[in-house]
């Protein structure tokens, strides 16, 4: 009996978390969005896991160039998170403010919308350098279909 009750409570907590993560355009505090969508990999202190997940401390080093700004929005964990563009912008700005980045131009909902749906950052960008070896080594021909840089 106790076990059943515990399971029911755990299941409803998951349901609430899922409902919050996919709540359309309703804004939720960015700290909560970070907790639900990023903390599992990047950690509560955003320092990641050395050798596995990069730190988000000092992320502003990317923001000096348009390619760098695009890269931050286009990494899979950000581009494909199941929340609205407005929430992604608020989440990125909160992440930048909270983890040691003092000078940066804030992201807007419009900028995030364009970068999430627009073409990937250009060939000489950080993302392209990460993706190109994978595509080059792939024996299938789906690279174009998944939007990899040519």
CA-nearest of 109, 12, 145, 125 to 65 is 125
Which residue lies nearer to ligand HEC by CB, 8 or 119?
119
Toward ligand HEC, which CB reaches closer, 56 or 121?
56
Give least dist CB 122 to ligand HEC, A: 16
Binding site for ligand HEC (CB under 6 A): 37-38, 40-42, 53-54, 56, 59, 72, 75-78, 81, 91, 95, 130
- Tokens found for residue 65: 């160039």
Q: Which is nearer to ligand HEC, 8 or 45 (CB)?
A: 45
Least distance to ligand HEC, CB of residue 49, Å: 9
Residue closer to ligand HEC (CB basis): 18 or 41: 41
Count other Cβ atoms within 10 Å, centred on residue 45.
12
Tell me the three-class secondary structure of 6-41, residue by residue.
HHHHHHHHHHHHHHHHCCCCCCCCHHHHHHHHCHHH
As measured in angstroms, the least distance from the Cβ of 67 to ligand HEC is 12
Rounded CA gap, 144 and 114, in Å?
Answer: 20
Q: Under a CB-based contact definition with an 8 Å cutoff, are residues 33 and 26 in contact? A: no
**Shortest Cβ 95–ligand HEC spacing (Å):** 5
């Amino acid at each position: 009996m106790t076990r059943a009750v515990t399971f029911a409570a755990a299941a409803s907590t998951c349901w609430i978390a899922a409902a919050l993560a996919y709540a359309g355009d309703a804004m939720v505090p960015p700290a909560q969005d970070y907790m639900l969508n990023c903390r599992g990999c990047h950690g509560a202190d955003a320092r990641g896991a050395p050798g596995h997940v990069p730190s988000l401390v000092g992320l502003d080093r990317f923001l000096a160039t348009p390619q760098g700004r695009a890269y931050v929005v286009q990494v899979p964990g950000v581009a494909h998170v199941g929340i609205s563009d407005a929430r992604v912008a608020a989440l990125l700005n909160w992440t930048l403010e909270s983890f040691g980045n003092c000078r940066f131009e804030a992201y807007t909902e419009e900028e995030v919308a364009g970068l999430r749906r627009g073409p990937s950052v250009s060939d000489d960008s950080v993302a392209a350098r990460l993706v190109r070896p994978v595509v080059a080594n792939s024996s299938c021909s789906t690279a174009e279909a998944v939007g990899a840089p040519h």
